Structure 1
Amino acid sequence: MRALGIILAGGNNNKMRELSNKRAVAAMPVAGSFRSIDFALSSMANSHIQKVAVLTQYNARSLNEHLSSSKWWDFGRKHGGLFVFSPTVTSDNSWWYRGTADAISQNLTWLKNSHEPYVVIASGDGVYKLDFNKVLEYHIAKRADVTVVCTDSKEADTSRFGVLKMNEDCRIEEFEEKPMVSSSNVISTGIYVIRRRQLIEMIERSAQEDRYDFVKDILIRYKNLKRIYGYKINTYWSNIATVDSYYRTNMDFLKPEVRDYFFGQYPGIYSKIDDLPPAKYNPGCTVKNSLVSSGCIINGQVENSVLFKKVYVGNNCVIKNSIILNDVYLGDNTHIENCIVESRDTIRANSYHCGEDGIKIVVEKNERYAI
């Protein structure tokens, strides 16, 4: 494909509460065996984009470990590759990334040294499948300066998204970033296609004027000066940047049609593979409508839940409508309902956790092995 990819995965998000205390949002586990960033990386790999840069910053250790090899997404066997860029102190600059445009600006040399005519920019917190070739064909056919991939919001509250209005030709006439009240339910998915030279020119000008945000200082600022079009998708798309949306997205994977769309239909979603045994269901356990990952051992009752890798469920445990992240030990007679249990937690026997008003996040760091 005649494009390179940039994935913006460096932002901090307080709406994830305790879940983002030790990891970036792009590294959040999704659907049992995947990370949030896998969906953007897989879409780029399936679109034959060979050269991808991931811009990391906040709590990047877990994300950097996940991205330690490009082989899982098959980037750049001969040309291109997977590049991970974190803020770097140089003779000219010692700033952290001050915004999405500034993150690109600090890595502008990589863009200038590339030869692909187009750039696909995506965020690392979206769950979707998308053929970027079709977006690029649309971008070229419209002779657009920038193409914004958008969708109809299924949420009543659109205040955490960029909201846009298009004319009959799909040219964007209005673009508001995170408005309190909006008359439109068409939202930006955080995916953009732009010509590489055009992007370099816009980023350099923004840097000169001390403007750091890609949406506010480029898209919104240039909407009447440049040809900015919307490309609307009607397939599954979700953003996991709040606790409620993260919970809802994982629960969506309990629906057969969503599982079939992501895992049963070509092309697939790829991720870093752990060498784990298959899940083990011991006599007496019951599992209903749940997603159970490799390495799990189940002794109790699991219902309408997502269990990530290496979860141990003790005797007489009851887990309902919950998400249990990686490497959690649940002691005997534990009851978990409407909760998200943080990874590597050890929940003592006879514990009771239930989210009464919304989703409860359970964080316990007990000693797992007593002498």
Structure 2
Amino acid sequence: MINKKVLAIILGGGQGTRLSPLTDRRSKPAVSIAGKYRLVDIPISNCIHCDIKRMFVLTQFNSASLNRHIKNTYTFSTFSEAFVDIMAAEQTPENKTWFQGTADAVRQSMHHILNHEFEYVLILSGDQLYQMDFDDMLEKHINKKAEISIATLPVNAKDATGFGILKTDEEDYITSFVEKPSADALPGWESEVDDEMKNEDRHYLASMGIYIFNRDLLVELMSNPDTIDFGKEIIPDSIGKNTVLAYQYKGYWTDIGTIASFFEANIGLTDEVPKFDLFNTSKNVLTRPRILPPSKIYGTRLNKAMIADGCIINANTIENSVIGIRSRIGKGSEINNTYMIGANLYQDIEEIEKDKKEGVPYIGVGDNCTIENAIIDKDARIGNDVVIKGGKHLKDVTEDAYVIKDGIVVIRRRAVIPHGFKLQ
């Protein structure tokens, strides 16, 4: 079943410099999460669970990895109209530039989008973590005769200064909007929220960057080449001119915009009752099916750990950590508060023995290592007796093999950390 009324557009974002070095060779939606998924799997899965199966993913930076993932993952029946298509920025006689912003990306893609039948456009971000019922949002959009609906999240005064804040009337229509207000400007921007949100002092409605537009209005708005961003221009300019509705979402949502938020979101998955529930079968995250063997674990004490498929682990302890696909960890190693993204391939025994003779670490973490407060990107090689202890005591630095941001040590993709290296 396909919801033919709705077409989804997933925004791939810009260069993603705040997520560097994870985005140095891949776009933000292609970044790995939870050891086996990609960020783009989140909005796509949410759509599929709501029978929205016609999706465009707009991107322009480092899109090869994302292209490959989507091609190998989202294959629908030959006789179905369902699709997930990548639309990278392209030069045409009318447009000779890169996407200049979120609205400009949609504008430059309209000649492809309008080839399809739809009444509403659902616009999503490719770098957020949430589980949301778009059907409920669409139903309220239709029943309230809105032209634009904006998903909103109740937030407290401290968090409100980092968002676009909306003011609503008693019918949930948006009457005003302010982008990232100062703390002094917040009084008077409170909106009506339920008792649960009030008890948590979450009185302000923040835009989540999730929108529904009526088709005709979107076509009209996209005809103006001077507006390039939804959050900064299209939405504020529409309030007072169009019927703009706020849809209150009260579940878990986070924007994966920085290394710190990315790290916190992944480590949070190891909680006994995580805020983002990967085990909810009705809202499960879909991704590429891989034919991998079960993980093998020898003499390792595991506590608050998530272990993906195909791992070979001889570590002493793994605690408060996420270990991604095909990860290899040597004897005596201690892994704590770490996200190990994993590997794209296995090394066979001959390759590992060859590396040992040449003094080169194998792909993974070697013997007798201590790793804390770190992200280890794909196919990194960490030698024996390595100590990496991230923390607020470390200054931000950028090196060839690693980067430190907000006390988190990020080992670059395919980096080689030599035997005996110390960073603490």
* 2:222 aligned residue: 203
* 2:391 aligned residue: 356
Change (3 A) 1:295 1:178: farther
| Counterpart pick for 1:64 among 44, 63, 67 | 67
Count of residues paired in the alignment: 363
Tell me, in whole angstroms, the C-alpha distance in 1 between the residues paired with 2:245 and 2:223.
22
| Counterpart pick for 1:144 among 140, 143, 146 | 146
Change (3 A) 1:22 1:68: same
What code does the residue aligned with 1:199 have? L
Residues 1:214 and 2:214 aligned together: no
Greater mean deviation of Cα atoms: 170-179 or 350-359: 170-179
Contact preservation (8 Å) 1:50, 1:76:
no
Contact preservation (8 Å) 2:147, 2:214:
yes
- In angstroms, what is the RMSD of aligned CA positions? 2.1
Tell me, in whole angstroms, the C-alpha distance in 2 between the residues paired with 1:142 and 1:37.
30
| Counterpart pick for 1:116 among 115, 118, 123 | 118
Contact preservation (8 Å) 2:73, 2:288:
no
* 2:99 aligned residue: 97
What code does the residue aligned with 1:122 have? L
Tell me, in whole angstroms, the C-alpha distance in 1 between the residues paired with 2:99 and 2:63.
13
Point out where structure 2 has 5 or more consecutive residues left out of the alignment.
Answer: 190-203, 344-362, 393-406, 419-424
Query: Shift of the alpha carbon at 1:76?
Result: 7.8
Point out where structure 1 has 5 or more consecutive residues left out of the alignment.
Answer: none
SS of structure 2 residue aligned to 1:42? helix
Residues 1:246 and 2:262 aligned together: yes
Query: Shift of the alpha carbon at 1:155?
Result: 9.0
- The TM-score normalised by the length of structure 1 is 0.92
Tell me, in whole angstroms, the C-alpha distance in 1 between the residues paired with 2:276 and 2:242.
39
- The TM-score normalised by the length of structure 2 is 0.81
* 1:223 aligned residue: 239
| Counterpart pick for 1:17 among 15, 20, 24 | 20
Query: Shift of the alpha carbon at 1:23?
Result: 1.6
* 1:8 aligned residue: 11
SS of structure 2 residue aligned to 1:19? coil
1:178-189 alignment to 2 at 5 Å?
178-181=180-183, 183=186, 185-189=204-208
Tell me, in whole angstroms, the C-alpha distance in 2 between the residues paired with 1:107 and 1:96.
12
Q: Could you give the per-residue CA deviations for residues 273-303 of structure 1, whole angstroms, max 9, x where no partner exists?
A: 2221111102x22211101101111111211
Contact preservation (8 Å) 1:50, 1:75:
no
Greater mean deviation of Cα atoms: 252-261 or 238-247: 252-261
Change (3 A) 1:76 1:57: farther
Greater mean deviation of Cα atoms: 190-199 or 62-71: 62-71
Greater mean deviation of Cα atoms: 160-169 or 286-295: 160-169
* 2:45 aligned residue: 42
Tell me, in whole angstroms, the C-alpha distance in 2 between the residues paired with 1:342 and 1:321.
15
Greater mean deviation of Cα atoms: 34-43 or 166-175: 166-175
* 2:193 aligned residue: none
What code does the residue aligned with 1:332 have? D
Contact preservation (8 Å) 1:51, 1:75:
no
| Counterpart pick for 2:306 among 260, 283, 291 | 291
SS of structure 1 residue aligned to 2:41? helix
Identity of aligned residues (%): 30
Query: Shift of the alpha carbon at 1:257?
Result: 2.7
Query: Shift of the alpha carbon at 1:154?
Result: 6.8
SS of structure 2 residue aligned to 1:322? strand
Greater mean deviation of Cα atoms: 8-17 or 196-205: 8-17
Contact preservation (8 Å) 1:70, 1:82:
no
Contact preservation (8 Å) 2:252, 2:275:
no
